[in-house]
Each structure stands twice: as C-alpha cells, then as structure tokens.
Structure 1
Amino acid sequence: MPEKPAITSTELGGLWITYQEKTMFLRMLEYFIEKADDEKAKEIMTNLYEELDLYVSKITDIFKNEGAAIPVGFTSHDVNKGVPKLYDNGLDIMLIRLLKEISMGLHSLNITMTYREDIVMMFKELTAIAQNYYNLCTQYLLEKGMLVRPPYVSMPDSVEFVKDNSYLGGINPFGEKRALNTVEVAHLHHAIESNFAGMQMIIGFAQCANKSEVKMFFNEGAELAKGIIKELREVFLQSDVPSAEPSGGNVTASTVSPFSDKLMMYCTSLLCSFSMGGNSLGTAFSMRNDLSAKMSVFMKDIFEYAHKGAKIMIKNGWMEEPPQMVERKQIIKE
C-alpha cells in the first residue's frame, strides 16, 4: 500500500462540501471583520479567519495532488466589504456561533465517512476549531447579555421510572399533557434559539437581495422561522416553562447587499439542512407524541422551503455540482 492511498468517493465528497462551506464562511467573516466595532468580537473573528483560511489551502492542495478540479466555492466576487453595516449590536457573533454549530455537525459526520488518516486528522482539527470558537462566541454573548440561558429546573431528589403509556400521550390537542422533561426542554430551547438567529440572518438577506424572487424566498423563510418560534414558545407556556429569545443583535436599515445572492442562497440552504437535522433529533428524543408530531411537520415545511430554494439556485446557475460517479450506462450507450 502507498503511504497515502488515493482518496475515496466519500472523502472527496466530504472535502468538497467543506470547501464550499469554508469559502462561504471566509467571505462572510471578511465583511464582519471590516464592520466590527467591538475589539473583542473583531479579535475572535480575525483569529477564526486565519485558522480557516489555512485549511482551505490544505484542501486545495489535496485536490491538486489528487488531480481533481478545484471547486469554485465562494470568491471575492461574492462579498462587498465597502457597503454599510447590515447586522449590528453583536448579531455578527450570534450568526458566527450558529454557523460554527453547523460546522461541528458537518465535520463530525465527515469523520465517520473518512478513512485516510491525514484527512481524518484534518476533520478532527476542524471539529476542535469549531468547538473552540462556538464556546468563545457563547461566552462573549453571555458576557454582553445578548444570550438567554435555558430555563432552570429543580434538582431531582429521587429516580423515577415511567409507570404507564400515558407518559407518551399528548397527541390529542384537547387532552391533558404531562409536564415537559428536561431532555425535551433542551431540544425545544435549542430550536427556538437557532430559529431566532436564523430568522435575523434571513431578514437581513431579504432586505438587500438583488433579485425579486430571492427577496420573496427570504421573506418566506423569515415567516417560517417566526411560525416555528411561536409554536414552540406556546409549548413552553402550556407547561409553565419560561421562554425568551436572545436579547442582542439587530438588523440595520441597510438595503445594500454585502453578499451575492448566490452566497446568501447557499447559506440559507445550509441553515435548512441544519434545521432538519435538529428537528430529527428533537423528534427522536421527545417522548411526548404531540412534540414528535409537531417536529415532523416542521421538517416537512423546511424540506419544501429548501426544495424551492434549490430550484431558484439551479435556475440562476448558482448550484455547483459535487463530483459525480462515472455514468456507466451512458458510456456503454455511447
């Protein structure tokens, strides 16, 4: 066996999607760093930029060494640092925190589909970077009072076991529902927090998108996120659990886009994928039937919204194709 065997299809796919995500992230960081007015936030973003830029170069080198075409990804054409500020009062760090959460999931998944040791190590290192900066963003937002901690709970003084199937009940909207357990609260709070940050990001995209169909698409996404937040907050209220969205960050009145429509559409697609994954976990770990049903409806709505976005990207020539397997039937036919 050679010291470094050729990369496999799954490794090529993992590197390709990481290249797309990281080049998008770098363009967004370039703009956020340029507009940062808080020194600590600027330091976090600058250090993150330098670390990620190094790994984009590493992935590029692997593609070159393997004789693979370098993806287009996102370039200087997809960002305009000279336009007015679109996000203010800590919303830049809030959005970076959300994107780092997506990165953690993406890299952890890629590790499970990677076999060559140097690429496994790369994804492990990227996972560590994502975890580190996610925590830095979290602590920054907490220090600034921009992030709300999840609800507190009385500590259990004994261990209980489920006694009957009524624990799973709740599908009847008029029936009596048991109180939420802490696992369910965790997933519901996370969904509210993520949808709030995503909604803020998409509202900004809607204000400054160039194409009218893209504006309409982002408006629809913001309304979808609002609806999900409203329904989940209602679940908390029914169980007498306090719920509050983050208090920091806002979208300015700027209508001049810092990013290309292509970049904003791809970013929204990532958010949709992340949201569907989060709702899947929420469904799997929620033991109350009405919550599982609610999460399933959310997933259906998000999937349909993401599919609509994919059609817009294809129509405008913005969807870059991942590397394909050889089309054997076509070769034989020719």
Structure 2
Amino acid sequence: METNNQIRLTAPEMASLWTQYQTDTMNKCFFRYALEHIDDPDVQSIYRTALAITEQHIQAITEFMTLEQHPIPRGFTETDDVNIHAPRLFQDPFYLNYLYVMTLQGLTGYALTVSTSVRSDIRKYYITCMSETMALFDQSIHLMLSKGLFTRPPVLTPPDAIDFVQRQGFLTGWLGRRRPLNAIEIGDISFNMLKMHLHAALKVGFIQVAHSNEAREHFKRGLGIANKHIKLFESVLEEDHLNSPFSWQSMITDSTSTTFSDKYMMFQIQLSTQLSLSYYGSALSVNARRDIGADYLRLMIELLHFAEDGAQLMIKNGWLEQPPTASDRESIAKDRSNK
C-alpha cells in the first residue's frame, strides 16, 4: 500500500494549500500588527491564540509543499508587507469583529476544502484546521456578545401552524405588494451586510495609508460600492421593520502612517470581494423573491468588474502571485520541436 508521501497531491489539494498559505501569511502580518496595539486583555488573548494557530498552519503547509517538491509561495512577510510599529489604525472593537468575520469565512472555506481533499493526511489536517477555527469563532462571538458589540439578526414571531406556498405571488417583488421577507432571505441579507460593514471599514483605513494613488482610488471606489450595497440591504430590511447590523467605520483612527504594503492591501480587498461574490451567489440560489434576486445579480456584476480591475492593477504592479497551474503542453511541444 502506498503511503501518503508517495501519493501526489491533487490539483484541488494543492490549490487549497497554496491559497491557505497566502491568507495565513496575510493573517500573520495583521495579527502581529494588532497585538502591538490591542489594549483589551480578552482581545489580546484570543489574538495570541489566533497567531499561534496561524504560524502552525504556515509550518504545516511548508512541509506539505516541500515533500511535494513544490516551491514555497512568496505570500506576505513582516519585512515587506507590514510595519508592526506603525501607529494604531483600528480600535479594539474593530479587531474583535475582524477576527469574528475572518473565522466565519474560514469555516466556510475549510468545509469546502475538506470536501475536495482525498489524501488522508490532507483531510486530517483540514479537519483539525476547521476544529481550531470553530473554537476561535465560538470565542470571538462570545466576547462580542459579552461586550455588547454584536448586533443580533432580526427575530421573527412564530406562526400558529405550518403552511405551504399556494400562490405564485410568493415569487413576485417588482410590481404590486411585495410579500414580507422569509427567514432564509433575512438571514442571508443580515450576514451579507455584517460582512460588508467590515469590508467597508477596512477600505476606510486602507484609503488613509495607501502608498500609490492608483491603490487609493481603487479603495475609494470599493468603499463607494460597499456603502451602496449596505444601503440597499438596509432598505430591504427596513421595509419589513427589521433591524440591521451597525457600521464599524467609526472604529478607524486618523492615522496616515505607512502600515501595510499596497500589495497586502490589494490582496485583502480582492479576497473580501471574492468572498462577497461567493456569499451573494449562495444567497441568490435560495432567494425566492424576484426583486431581491435581481438585486443580487446586479450587485454581483458590479463586484465582478471591481475584482477584475483590481486584478489588472495587481498584475501591472507585480503584486499578483500566480497559483499552481497545469503544464502548457503546446508550449512544451513547440520548445521541443525548435531544439
């Protein structure tokens, strides 16, 4: 029987490891910077745990790739991509919310990664990652609740009995009286708003500390898009007299000192855009009101254009690291014929 070391990593397994290396080296830079400024001992403690886990992940991925004889990605480093001694850019409540949203997104990513992994040691590794992230998620939401920093999603009045949809009017939304939102739609809108509020606050901070005008203008455009999406979601909830998550943009200080590299900030914004697209797509797939479905489609197209322009900017400046790619057989054959 072959051992794991003799079985080559599949493309999905390599993609997961490569992507995680990028995000974990990014997280390490952010966590190291955060720990220089966080005053709240509870938030300090959970960030120290998060940093230790992240460093373990980076080491494990390095070992997997070394055994595969795959070059270790560049990712992000404390030397090139963060000044941990820069003045404070974010307030303590923001740091706690940041970790909550990142663990929330990490759980989604790890669930997908486990489902696409075949080799037993890779499956075991990602199951461990999911367990660690779930514990961090639980700690972060517990702290947010205890400190009064978490906006609970809307609560619904229980119906008298179960019911079934009897009219196609359940699907309408453009003309006439719109039916109230159902629990599934409320949940998706609430959590998409919650994550978009974090993304908007990040862009506020990045606008202040960006080096190049191109990156700064890209972040300004992204902030406008995020705020527009938030207002749309708010208006949909308000129509049914439902509460919305609150903004975190006031949790940004007035620092303009060099804090992160433009490469780091562009990657962070690209990542948040890609994640928003995936969550919007998931919400669209279970949404039953036509007007909201049309809104999700329109917002996704806007995010797709923004992400494409971001990728073009990163390529132009040499900031976009190329993922593992299939061999170009045509080029190999052409090179062989020319020898």
Please say whether Structure 1 and Structure 2 have the same fold, judged by a TM-score greater than 0.5. yes
Deviations 1:72-118 (A, max 9, x none): 11111211111100001410111122222222222211112211010
In the alignment, residue 108 of structure 1 is paired with which amino acid?
A
Identity %, equivalent residues = 27
Q: Report deviation, 1:286.
A: 1.2
- In the alignment, the residues of structure 2 paired with residue 216 and residue 171 of structure 1 have an alpha-carbon distance, to the nearest angstrom, of 35
Equivalent in 93, 109, 122 of residue 90 of structure 1 = 93
1:11 corresponds to: 13
Q: Report deviation, 1:134.
A: 1.7
- In the alignment, the residues of structure 1 paired with residue 330 and residue 316 of structure 2 have an alpha-carbon distance, to the nearest angstrom, of 27
- In the alignment, the residues of structure 2 paired with residue 54 and residue 60 of structure 1 have an alpha-carbon distance, to the nearest angstrom, of 10
- In the alignment, the residues of structure 2 paired with residue 10 and residue 270 of structure 1 have an alpha-carbon distance, to the nearest angstrom, of 18
Task: Out of 245-254 and 195-204, give the one that drifted further.
Answer: 245-254
- In the alignment, the residues of structure 1 paired with residue 8 and residue 186 of structure 2 have an alpha-carbon distance, to the nearest angstrom, of 45
In the alignment, residue 189 of structure 1 is paired with which amino acid?
S
Contact 1:145 1:248 in 2 (8 A): no
- In the alignment, the residues of structure 2 paired with residue 212 and residue 102 of structure 1 have an alpha-carbon distance, to the nearest angstrom, of 30
* Alignment CA distance shift 1:185-1:32 (3 Å): same
**Alignment of 1:146 onto 2:119:** no
Contact 1:146 1:247 in 2 (8 A): no
2:70 corresponds to: 68
2:61 corresponds to: 59
Deviations 1:240-265 (A, max 9, x none): 22334157960000011321111111
Q: Report deviation, 1:137.
A: 1.4
Contact 2:107 2:130 in 1 (8 A): yes
Instruction: For residue 116 of structure 2, give the secondary structure of its aligned residue in structure 1.
Output: coil
Structure 1: runs of 5 or more not aligned: none
Contact 2:38 2:92 in 1 (8 A): no
- In the alignment, the residues of structure 2 paired with residue 329 and residue 180 of structure 1 have an alpha-carbon distance, to the nearest angstrom, of 53
2:171 corresponds to: 168
- In the alignment, the residues of structure 2 paired with residue 273 and residue 247 of structure 1 have an alpha-carbon distance, to the nearest angstrom, of 21
Instruction: For residue 35 of structure 1, give the secondary structure of its aligned residue in structure 2.
Output: coil
Contact 2:90 2:252 in 1 (8 A): yes
Contact 2:172 2:291 in 1 (8 A): yes
- In the alignment, the residues of structure 2 paired with residue 240 and residue 202 of structure 1 have an alpha-carbon distance, to the nearest angstrom, of 29
Deviations 1:181-225 (A, max 9, x none): 111111111111111111001110111000001001111111111
Q: Report deviation, 1:316.
A: 0.5
- In the alignment, the residues of structure 2 paired with residue 265 and residue 130 of structure 1 have an alpha-carbon distance, to the nearest angstrom, of 24
* TM-score, with length taken from structure 2: 0.95
- In the alignment, the residues of structure 1 paired with residue 61 and residue 245 of structure 2 have an alpha-carbon distance, to the nearest angstrom, of 41
- In the alignment, the residues of structure 1 paired with residue 114 and residue 250 of structure 2 have an alpha-carbon distance, to the nearest angstrom, of 34
Contact 1:208 1:254 in 2 (8 A): yes
Instruction: For residue 156 of structure 1, give the secondary structure of its aligned residue in structure 2.
Output: coil
Q: Report deviation, 1:282.
A: 1.2
- In the alignment, the residues of structure 2 paired with residue 17 and residue 312 of structure 1 have an alpha-carbon distance, to the nearest angstrom, of 20
2:191 corresponds to: 190
In the alignment, residue 138 of structure 2 is paired with which amino acid?
N
Q: Report deviation, 1:147.
A: 1.6
Matches within 5 A, 1:287-306: 287-306=288-307
- In the alignment, the residues of structure 2 paired with residue 258 and residue 324 of structure 1 have an alpha-carbon distance, to the nearest angstrom, of 32
Instruction: For residue 295 of structure 2, give the secondary structure of its aligned residue in structure 1.
Output: helix
Deviations 1:19-72 (A, max 9, x none): 111110111000011111110000000011111211110110111111111111
* TM-score, with length taken from structure 1: 0.96
- In the alignment, the residues of structure 2 paired with residue 116 and residue 243 of structure 1 have an alpha-carbon distance, to the nearest angstrom, of 43
Equivalent in 101, 106, 111 of residue 103 of structure 1 = 106
In the alignment, residue 143 of structure 1 is paired with which amino acid?
S
Contact 1:63 1:69 in 2 (8 A): yes
- In the alignment, the residues of structure 2 paired with residue 242 and residue 72 of structure 1 have an alpha-carbon distance, to the nearest angstrom, of 43
In the alignment, residue 317 of structure 1 is paired with which amino acid?
G
Instruction: For residue 326 of structure 1, give the secondary structure of its aligned residue in structure 2.
Output: coil
In the alignment, residue 11 of structure 1 is paired with which amino acid?
E
**Structure 1 segments (4+ residues) deviating >3 Å:** 246-249
- In the alignment, the residues of structure 2 paired with residue 248 and residue 140 of structure 1 have an alpha-carbon distance, to the nearest angstrom, of 20
